[in-house]
Structure 1
């Protein structure tokens, strides 16, 4: 208690003297009272005065003359341009904790996360991998994790690659940034429209030319790709984001043939392929590629949790050496502790067990949510269920505009996203059929009936009807 009191006294004197110096209550080179005189004047200890003086000295507010004492450092008055003074804008946003219910497509259910197992694996990392933790990690990530991922994607996604082709990153955005740096200047990258808005935002902040390609019933339009002639395209073939389309093999072959003929690259974002209901997983586009034109992006954000911040990229062999040369002095941005813990989770079989458990959990929630939506909305809702991933699309009749629906959802404490979040240009509101993205990973099963009723209130007009 005495120590805290002394600390407060020293900080109070330091703050007061600093303020007096900055407001020019002292002249330049003016001598400060001695420590003893100041202590008597303030009725505090000499040690407190000494601590305050030493802090001011360290920051350059005062200087010393040997055996003479402390003096005020000459300071210019800080210029403050009043027209440059701005206040921080406040935005009408809600954190996750403020929503009563969530239909977010971005979150995961961590209620079943194996916390005890993860902690046990982490302790093993401290015990057996201290050489990794005490040094700067390889820019590609620990070799052991890359080995584990290579085995994982081999039997889960049909991808056969060497660990040297795999790069670990703190997220797919981070990895996409690394990939852009490998490309030549003045290249054009095409994105799906509607598509993942964060990729669009990232590309817009670079020197890369970006163009958008619309979708048809098979996914990204091959005819538009041929007409626009981009150098690379970003696609989500296993579960198009956000529309949910599963790209058939005919379109996959067309894409691969286009890439081979034009020497372009296909960037496959395989963000939630682990969750496929009622049928087996769809093989990755990378597994079809025979000409090294596909770059694969995978993540653990959907299978484990976004907060883990571990994703990975698999490069064609023809880009590996270029990546190594350009990044030989780069320090990676992911947590080496989390990466090594994840490796043990995969290696010892805990990861697969967890995925199977979550697959069952998400499958039950998805089925129950669809049932509740159908019962509540009847013919007024059209559910575009592709039986994959952690979200699906619905078309619902509402007289409200997209902007009004988003605003009303916030008013009702319901986290909800419309298709306008993912379109390059907002849709016109001349149709009464509105497209909503319904995520079911975060919401608890017992919350679903009330959440669906809350959704009905959001899209219902003041007369109480949905029409």
Structure 2
């Protein structure tokens, strides 16, 4: 397609990248942008809509992260088939009547369980051997209390390009599991704080909030 028309409101408080992302997403879902359609280049669309190129890039990356479009190196972004995307609405009444036995589960991703039969021991051993050597002196130290700076830099980079979130590595904390981090987070709030929890969601969070 040559160009993409989108009415952006600069006064409603919603980030421009989010408005552009929502518009393109709606066009794909409702079939006005069909499978294989090539989206305008970031340079052309930013010029046409009179917005920053980073704004267009952030919207495109968000669409790509959710599977609505696919990036092709040196070619651009192409619409993926909406019917191929999996959007599953859980029927809670049916779910209560379904009995799942161990033989029906191929891989166990429970956070407190390890699938010992399918664990890639050979790959783990190779990476451990490559990592544990005398050149990596830092392995013997406690490390940064917020998590390794290199990892936090990569997380900040990902958040900006994939989610449009601007933050610095110093605002990111990496911890040993969600329970530990959630516990630290809860200490920042008082007992009168009201929480919202996903359903279905991570069941251990409910236990920690009680």
TM-score tier (shorter):
0.3 to 0.5
Q: Which has the higher contact order (CA 8 A, sep 6+)?
A: 1
User: Which protein is bigger by CA-based radius of gyration?
Assistant: 1
TM-score (norm 1): 0.19
TM-score (norm 2): 0.39
